[in-house]
Each structure stands twice: as C-alpha cells, then as structure tokens.
Homo-oligomer: A and B are copies of this chain.
C-alpha cells in the first residue's frame, strides 16, 4: 500500500519553525506520511489567495490525499475548525472561506472539528495549525473515521468565490498575484464562453483595457499586456516577459469587468 500523502498550505512563511512544528506533529502520529508543501508564502491572512492556490493544485494529487490548509486570521476567536471529504480527497483547516472553491465539488461532506481526542493534548491560543489541524490530518492519514471528527455542519462560503454574471457582462476581482506578476481573476473561461467566444470579450481592470483573451504568452510582443486562460481555467492578466501586477497596478481585490462585443 502506498504511504498516505498530506499536503500543506499556509501563510506562515519560510523563516520560522511554524511549518516544521506541524510536520513534526504529523510524523509523530503518522510516521509514514509523505509530506508535500503546496505553498507557505500566501499573503498573510489572505484566505482568497490561499483558496485559489489550493484550487489550482489539489486535483493533481492521488486519490486519498489529505490537504491541510491553514490561513487563519481568526485563530483564538470563535471561527470554526472543519474537515471536508470529497469523492477523492480530504481537507482540514479553519472555516473561513478557504475551501470555497473546493466546496463547488458535488457531494462534499463537512465536519466541525470538536472531538478533542484527535487534537494535541496541550492547546495553545495562537497556533491551531500545530495543535488541532495537523494532528487531525495525521489521524485521518492513519485511517481515523471521518464521521467521528465532529458533527456535520455547513461550511462558510466566501463572497469572492463567485463573480457577478450578467447578460454580456461579468464582474470579478483579482484573487491572486503569482510569482511572475500575473494577476489571476475569479472568472473562469467557461463562464465567459457560455455567452460568447473568449476572443470576443473585452477586459477592463483600472486603466487597462484588453480586447481579447488569447491562448498563450508568446502571441504578443515582449512587454505587452494580454489576457489569457491560465493553466487552471481562470482568466489572468499577464505581460509577455514582464510583471503585470506591478506594471499595471493590479492587486488582490482589484475589480475587473468583462464585456462581450456585439459584432
């Protein structure tokens, strides 16, 4: 049998021992777990960006993978802690919208983590990633019964999870700036194509106007902005061989509108 895989996504950064503490806790419970980092450089407290990065990567992992995601500005307050089971995966983390894109999958089940048997014995006020989420993920990896983690519940769905879709017009927002400065928008190509072909939509973001959605980077001159479909299906604004976010002044939350041309 293959060893269980646990992925980790946080905004903890890479300078400290926070992520390693979680890994130590996991390995102490489930020594054969295979640990794979998704990212620990999500912008601090930005569940939106974390949700996007998780969405772009979780589906490539083998069936049964446990995805542990901790972007948790509400730690120590009343926000809930949850585990989700989909047809292929498990997810563990705070109940703050971080799993909004995951929860679009049909047949998700959500449990509110209340069974302290799966937590670390000593609980800190500031680090539930280490004390609740990591041990719960490790116990799932060891085969703990999902149903005993806690009672069923309705998870939080974030506002930025869906764009506003009108007739010939879609309004979304930038949800992530990637390493290359590409600005990813919470609008999928298929959302646009339900109304008309991608190349007939005009995109506006601040002062930037782009009159088509293209297939790949190489199709415009170096230094020129373009819109294209990213590798996960979301529309992104890029500059060929450049940094769109800094050059065009885009950041998470920037409003972006799409308009379908009539001709």
Contacts and interface: CB of A to CB of B under 8 A. Distances in A.
Interface string A79-106: 0000000000000000000000000000
Given A60-B25, A76-B216, A179 B13 contact: yes
A263 interface: no
Contacts of A27: 5, 34, 36, 61-62
A190 B47 CA distance: 34
A209 interface: no
A22 B56 CA distance: 11
A231 B124 contact: yes
Contacts of A24: 36, 57-62, 65
Interface string A7-39: 100001111111011111101100110111111
Max count, chain B CB within 10 A of own CB: residue among A16, A18, A55, A216: A16
Interface in A205-247: 215-218, 228, 230-231, 241
A218 B77 contact: yes
A75 interface: yes
A38 B18 CA distance: 8
Copies in the complex: 3
A170 B54 CA distance: 45
Contact of A41 (B15, B39, B124): B15
Contacts of A15: 39, 41-42, 53, 178-179
A44 interface: yes
Contact of A39 (B16, B25, B56, B62): B16
Given A45-B241, A217-B75, A217-B126, A36 B23 contact: yes
A62 B228 contact: no
A55 B54 CA distance: 30
A80 B122 CA distance: 38
Contact of A7 (B20, B32, B39): B20
A160 interface: no
Contacts of A37: 20
